[in-house]
Amino acid sequence: EELWAPVSSHIDQSLAGAEIIINGSGSHTEIRKASYALKLIRGASAKCGLAYVFSNLRGCDGERVYLNGCSTIVLNGDVLKLGEQYSLMDVEVLTAVINLDAIRTYKNRIRSRSLMAASAPSYPSVRVEWSILCEHVFSRIPTSPLDTVSFIPPEEEIARGPALWMWD
């Protein structure tokens, strides 16, 4: 629900210094919903200056709802990775190398964001004295944005959704 809420929590988290938002979602399928979700994700990422990882479930919930996947990784409004919209694969893994300095530079260019962050209340956080960064990662080039993003047409969504629901 974080992404769909009128006042999303990623806004306060970003103002408090968060650079990566991870949204584990169970968003059910609707016609053209994947395109709308991507607009919301890109807007959140561009507005706040952050990496937004949207991990959506795929498959049937065991009753009447089908979850269509379409997980996404977006950086500062640019789509880095986009998962398949409908698929028979049980698991799909998306990865991207993100330069956190690109996020910090992007945030610094948004003047109103800096002013809002200065007056925003603090967000609960936990400081740790360790890092999960591997040294060999420094040699990897950050993932480039996708040139084009496209979704299957509504007619194909209508064909695939019920078929995959029955299959699963």
All structural domains of the chain, each given as residue ranges with its CATH number in brackets, are: 9-167 (3.60.110.10)
The 10s digit of each residue's pLDDT in 144-168 is 999 999 999 999 988 888 888 887 6
Average pLDDT over all residues of the chain? 88
Whether the predicted pLDDT of 28 surpasses 70 = yes
The 10s digit of each residue's pLDDT in 37-65 is 999 999 999 999 999 999 999 888 778 88
Cβ within 8 Å of residue 22, ≥6 positions away: 53, 55
The 10s digit of each residue's pLDDT in 64-123 is 888 888 999 999 999 999 999 988 888 899 999 998 899 999 999 988 888 898 888 888
Whole-Å CA distances, 104 to 19, 31, 92, 101, 137: 8, 36, 29, 5, 19
pTM score: 0.88
Q: pLDDT at position 24, please?
A: 93
Across the range 5-10, mean pLDDT stands at 89
- The larger pLDDT score, comparing residue 1 to residue 106, is at 106
